[in-house]
């Protein structure tokens, strides 16, 4: 239950990700984005309140990772499942290389789509509980969506909404992408409910909005805790690329 919008501008060297996290109302709240790792690789990431993993982050190698649950896969109940967020955290810190993942190492994970985003391409590692498949994309814009109740319909709907209502005529700079991401991820098109980017259901809803934008000189992180359409303005951090020190 999530929505992601990916943007890459190779000419201007801008890489961005906007991400709505949709969760059960029973999940514990997450932390604000923080620096994790002891070197040589560091990452900036919010941390899950239940297991200490994460669903999104960026590291000092200028790789962005995020994860969507793969609800279309046939669900097999696991006795002691490993949190998928711990895999994202390990990838961010280069403790795990997703290119070297093996299917036998994933049998304790529920299905997922692990997304690695660089200026050159997007790799999506799709685990359906039985097989691991890698898909690659180099498009300027890419929209991804997942939904427990709507399945693949969420992906189709959110892609269509973006193309019809939000796709810009000109490629945005970093600030313009942040505004584009905000407008898309707070929208209730086609209607306020399970299919809208800002998702609303009785048992689950969008619990946070995160944006990560990398340029040649700067990393910008925004984090909005709560429903994006109702919550106060997001926390915004401008950080150096070398050690993620706060600028200003």
* pLDDT tens, N- to C-terminus, the chain (248 residues): 699 999 999 999 999 999 999 988 777 889 999 999 988 899 999 999 888 899 999 999 999 999 999 987 767 789 899 999 999 999 999 999 999 999 999 999 999 999 999 999 999 999 999 999 999 999 999 999 987 767 678 889 999 999 999 999 999 999 999 999 999 999 999 999 989 999 999 888 999 999 999 999 999 999 999 999 999 999 999 999 887 888 86
> Is the backbone peptide bond immediately before 40 cis, with ω within 30 degrees of 0?
yes
Q: Torsions phi, psi of 100, nearest 5? A: -110, 10
- Per-residue pLDDT of 58-95, as tens digits, reads 999 999 999 999 987 767 789 899 999 999 999 999 99
When the candidates are 3.60.60.10, 3.20.20.70, 3.90.1300.10, 3.40.1500.10, the CATH number that belongs to 2-239 is 3.60.60.10
Close Cβ partners of 111 (under 8 Å, ≥ 6 residues apart): 69, 70, 71, 73, 75, 127, 128, 129
Distance CA 102, CA 109 (A): 12
pLDDT score for 248 = 63
Q: Torsions phi, psi of 145, nearest 5? A: -150, 150
pLDDT score for 153 = 83
pLDDT score for 147 = 77
Q: Determine what percent of the chain is predicted with pLDDT higher than 90.
A: 79
Q: pTM of the predicted model, to two decimals?
A: 0.95
């Amino acid at each position: 239950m999530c929505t992601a919008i990916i943007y890459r501008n190779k000419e201007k060297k801008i890489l961005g990700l906007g991400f709505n996290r949709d969760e059960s109302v029973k999940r514990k709240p997450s932390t604000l984005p923080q620096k994790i790792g002891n070197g040589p690789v560091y990452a900036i990431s919010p941390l899950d309140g239940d297991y200490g993993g994460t669903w999104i982050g960026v590291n000092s190698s200028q790789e962005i990772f995020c994860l969507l649950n793969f609800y279309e896969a046939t669900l097999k109940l696991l006795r002691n499942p490993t949190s998928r967020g711990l895999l994202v955290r390990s990838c961010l810190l280069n403790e795990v290389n997703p290119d070297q993942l093996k299917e036998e190492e994933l049998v304790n994970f529920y299905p997922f789509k692990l997304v690695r985003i660089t200026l050159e391409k997007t790799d999506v590692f799709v685990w359906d509980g039985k097989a691991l498949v890698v898909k690659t994309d180099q498009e300027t814009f890419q929209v991804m969506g997942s939904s427990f109740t709507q399945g693949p319909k969420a992906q189709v709907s959110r892609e269509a909404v973006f193309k019809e209502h939000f796709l810009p005529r000109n490629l945005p700079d970093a600030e313009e992408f942040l505004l584009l991401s905000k407008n898309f991820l707070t929208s209730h098109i086609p209607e306020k409910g399970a299919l809208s980017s800002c998702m609303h259901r009785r048992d689950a809803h969008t619990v946070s909005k995160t944006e990560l934008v990398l340029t040649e000189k700067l990393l910008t992180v925004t984090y909005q805790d709560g429903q994006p359409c109702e919550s106060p303005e997001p926390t915004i951090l401008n950080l150096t690329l070398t050690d993620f020190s706060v600028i200003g």
